[in-house]
Amino acid sequence: MIAAIVPAAGRGVRMGRPKLTLPVGGRPMIQRVIAALRDGGADSVVVVTGPHDPAVAPLAIAAGAVVCELPVATPDMRTTVEHGLRWLEERYHPRPDDAWLLCPGDLPLLDETTVRQVCEAYVPGVGPSIIVPTHGGKRGHPALIAWRHVAGIRALPAGVGMDAYLHSRSAEILQQPVMTPDAVIDVDHPEEFERLNAGSLTALPDHDPR
């Protein structure tokens, strides 16, 4: 099993408004991400939402995802992700060599081909247990993580994020080159959204912290 978790509980503070419902090419951003994950090989897509933007959940469900709705805001992305992991664990009881894709919802150009390349690079029980897509020397998303790493993520000290865990497991990571820059392009600010819809958005660092 390869599931996907989309943390969608951030407030979009830098955008100035909730961003995952914004239209990209005539389709809400969150639905484009879900479609890429499903078509690229994710067996299940779990979108973890917060109370700030009630429009995300129905859009996610309409796109074929399941929703883990949180009644209160989370302090960071790691907490949001852990809620999604718990949701998956309770329903699917993953084995250590099953895997999950960590995919922020603000990857508006994410393509199923990139997701498929990441999924196909993972061989359960053999070789790297974490697959990270790269393009032009930059790491992106979705990152594929074997389920056996979940215990280590949960054991992180408070305030330590997902990136710190991945850095600590560098020997277990395969950096998988992908053909297009969609894995490293996200949208955080209004001007970036305008450039996106104008067709001139280039690769940008950093994802919304939740």
Q: Is the pTM of this model over 0.75?
A: yes
Task: pLDDT band for 208, please (50, 70, 90 cuts).
Answer: very low
Residue 37, classed as helix, strand or coil, is: helix
The percentage of residues in the chain with a pLDDT greater than 90, rounded to a whole number, is 63
How, if at all, do strands 44-49 and 66-69 pair? Answer: parallel
Cα separation values, 69 from 52, 74, 83, Å: 11, 11, 9
| Mean pLDDT in residue range 37-50 | 96
pLDDT digits (tens, 9 = 90+) for 157-178: 988 999 999 999 999 999 999 9
pLDDT digits (tens, 9 = 90+) for 103-132: 999 898 899 999 999 999 999 988 899 999
Residue 55's contacts (CB-CB under 8 Å, 6 or more residues apart) are 18, 21
Query: Residue 182: how many CA atoms within 13 Å on its side-chain side?
Result: 22
Domains of the chain are 2-198 (3.90.550.10)
Distance CA 87, CA 85 (A): 5
Task: pLDDT band for 24, please (50, 70, 90 cuts).
Answer: confident
- Which of 196, 48, 188, 37 lies closest to 110, judged by CA? 37
Cα separation values, 118 from 13, 18, 142, 159, 188, Å: 30, 28, 8, 28, 24
Residue 171's contacts (CB-CB under 8 Å, 6 or more residues apart) are none
Weakest mean pLDDT among 19-33, 81-95, 179-193? 179-193
Q: Where are the beta strands (DSSP E) in 52-172?
A: 66-69, 99-102, 130-135, 138-139, 143-146
Confidence (pLDDT) at 159: 87
